[in-house]
Amino acid sequence: MKARDLMTPNPAQVNPTDSLQRVSQLMGEHDCGCIPVVNADGQRSVLGVVTDRDITLRGVAKGRPVTTPIGEIMTPNPDCCAPDDDVSHVERLMSDRQIRRVVVVDDSGEVVGMIAQADLARAAKRQQEPSPREMVDVLEKISRPGGA
């Protein structure tokens, strides 16, 4: 199975100048906990990601105003995969880096999709790759204490 088989295509995206409030609203509208941050010049090249955890720990917990540009609290240079990468590669990224989401980019580095831990779980439930046992292993590794 390939990344393209699991990814959510064309996820919501923001620019580094978008506000913390706008990004939070988009997360609610799109029912997601991670949004890619892309170039402000109209390209979709990924610069970073902003997660609900970033908003909580780097924004709210630090008393930042809702007008804070998301570029100030995003996680830069996220781990990414290509649409044709095997799911095993995505599993390794999630396990090794203790991340719950991976941005899918094309050959030019532009965002084309997003794969979440839940996507792997749904595939396992449908009895496709990854196997339920592999999914349990990935979840255990992602969830180890001390991860970012």
- Report the domain count for the chain: 1
pLDDT at 141 over 60: no
pLDDT at 147 over 90: no
Mean pLDDT value across the chain:
86
Question: Token pair 């409030």 is at which residue?
Answer: 21
* CATH code, domain carrying 108: 3.10.580.10
Torsion sign across C-alpha atoms 18, 23, 29, 33: positive
Residue 99 lies in a domain: yes
Residue 109 lies in a domain: yes
Section 71-76 average pLDDT: 95
Residue 43 lies in a domain: yes
